[in-house]
Amino acid sequence: MTDPRKARVATVSLAGCFGCHMAILDMDERLIGLMEKVEFDRSPLTDIKTFTRRCDIGIIEGGCCNEENVHTLIEFRKNCDVLIALGQCAIMGGLPAMRNAIMHAAEPLRECLEEAYISGPYLRNMTRLIPNDPVLPLVLDRVYPCSEVVDIDYQIPGCAPSGDIIYSTLATLLDGRFTGFDREDIRFD
């Protein structure tokens, strides 16, 4: 029999702070062992920006705050067998979803952008305009957790999740013996 091929992992940061990707590196030297079983495909870690082949695992950081996030997330769902939401932004919307609290205004999105770029008290915006370059993706009416947009198979909690929980989840998933998280591994700090 030939050697089983390495599992292909794709990752992306949507509306997140990249902290969850940093947390992937928190696996430290365990990464070396892990790399014997996996290879990173489309990911900021490899700078591969499109899918050229199907992947086994997709890891999503951040929720969806604009149309491009949605598009990317759907791409991931199409091209990955198992999709993992990593961290609170991916799971719940997280910090970016604070803007969802502006829900009672007549036009919540406009109010949010105006405060952020025009009327906020601590602003220094020489143009006095809301950025609107044609290459900017359209912003969604609110920030959506990944699971409201596509089916998500697993959610790894934490902000950011610890290197330990990321490692144990990936290691057990790859061995087909994932049964849930250890209570001690679930931390928010």
What is the contact surface with ligand SF4 in residues (CB under 6 A)? 16-17, 19-20, 61-62, 87-89, 94-95, 159-160
Q: Which does 160 bind (CB under 5 to 8 A by kind): other proteins, ligand SF4, none?
A: ligand SF4
Rounded to 10 degrees, the C-alpha dihedral 151/156/160/163 comes to -130
Instruction: State yes or no: residue 150 binds other proteins (CB under 8 A).
Output: yes
**Look-up: residue for tokens 């001690």?**
184
Q: What does the alpha-carbon distance between residue 109 and residue 102 come to, in Å, rounded to a whole number?
A: 8
Instruction: State yes or no: residue 54 binds other proteins (CB under 8 A).
Output: no
Rounded to 10 degrees, the C-alpha dihedral 169/173/179/182 comes to -10
Q: Which is nearer to other proteins, 140 or 171 (CB)?
A: 140
**Look-up: residue for tokens 């992947």?**
55
Q: Tokens for 1, please give them.
A: 């029999």
Closest distance of CB 160 from ligand SF4, Å = 3
Using CB under 8 A as the binding rule, the residues of this chain from 93 to 122 that contact other proteins are 107-110, 113
Which span (48-56, 77-85, 96-104, 173-181) binds other proteins, by CB under 8 A?
77-85
Instruction: State yes or no: residue 67 binds other proteins (CB under 8 A).
Output: yes
Q: Which does 93 bind (CB under 5 to 8 A by kind): ligand SF4, other proteins, none?
A: none
**Look-up: residue for tokens 């490899």?**
46
Q: What does the alpha-carbon distance between residue 144 and residue 142 come to, in Å, rounded to a whole number?
A: 6
Q: Which does 28 bind (CB under 5 to 8 A by kind): ligand SF4, other proteins, none?
A: none
Using omega within 30 degrees of 0 as the cis cutoff, is the peptide bond preceding 106 cis?
Answer: no
Instruction: State yes or no: residue 148 binds other proteins (CB under 8 A).
Output: yes
